[in-house]
Structure 1
Amino acid sequence: MLIAIVYLSFTFLSTLNKSAADNTFLFGPILLLLIAGYVFRKEWLSIDFNILKDRKILKSVYSGVQGILCIQALWTLFFGYSLNESETIIQRLPIFVLHVIITGPIIEEIIFRKFLFTIINIRSNFFISSLVSSILFSLAHYDTLRLIPYTITGIILCRVYLKTNSILPSILIHSIINLLAILAISIRQL
Structure 2
Amino acid sequence: MPREYKWVLLVFFLIVGPGPIVFILNKYTVALLPGISLALYIYLLRNEIRSASFDAVLKNKGFYVWTFRALRAGLIVHLVCAVIFKPLPNLPDTLIQSYVIMPFYTIVVAPIVEEVAYRKIIFGFLSEKYNFWVGASVSSALFSLGHFSPDRLVTYFLVGMLFCHYYKKSGSIGTTIFAHSALNFISLVMLTVKS
TM-score by length of 2: 0.89
1:13 corresponds in structure 2 to 20
Which among 154, 160, 163 is matched to residue 157 of structure 1?
163
Partner of 2:23, secondary structure, is coil
Are the counterparts in 2 of residues 68 and 156 from structure 1 also a CA contact under 8 Å?
yes
Provide the rounded CA distance (Å) in 2 between the counterparts of 1:152 and 1:59: 20
CA contact (8 A) 1:161 1:170 kept: yes
Contact preservation (8 Å) 1:64, 1:160: yes
| Residue 29 of structure 2: aligned partner | 24
Indicate which of 69, 74, 77 corresponds to 2:83: 77
* Secondary structure, aligned partner of 1:33: helix
Aligned to 1:121, the other structure's residue is in SS state: helix
**Cα shift at 1:127:** 1.2
Q: Distance between the aligned counterparts of 2:62 and 2:14, measured in 1?
A: 37
Large movers: runs of 4+ above 6 Å: none
- The answer (yes or no) to whether the contact 2:15–2:37 under 8 Å persists in 1 is no
| Residue 53 (structure 2) pairs with residue 48 (structure 1) | yes
- Quote how far apart the aligned CAs of 1:151 are: 0.9
The equivalent of 2:9 in structure 1 is 4
1:130-151 CA distance string (max 9 Å, x none): 1111111111111121111101
Code of the residue aligned with 2:168 in structure 1: it is L
Asked whether the 8 Å contact 1:14–1:25 carries over to 2, the reply is: no
Query: Is residue 173 of structure 2 the alignment partner of residue 173 of structure 1?
Result: no
The two structures, once aligned, show a CA RMSD in angstroms of: 1.5
Percentage identity across paired residues of the two chains:
26
Number of the residue aligned with 1:62: 68
| Structure 2: 5+ residue stretches without partners | 1-5
Equivalent pairs counted in the alignment come to 187
**TM-score (ref. length: structure 1):** 0.92
Tell me how far apart the structure 2 counterparts of residues 49 and 36 of structure 1 sit (CA, whole Å): 17
Are the aligned partners of 2:11 and 2:40 in contact in 1 as well (CA < 8 Å)?
no
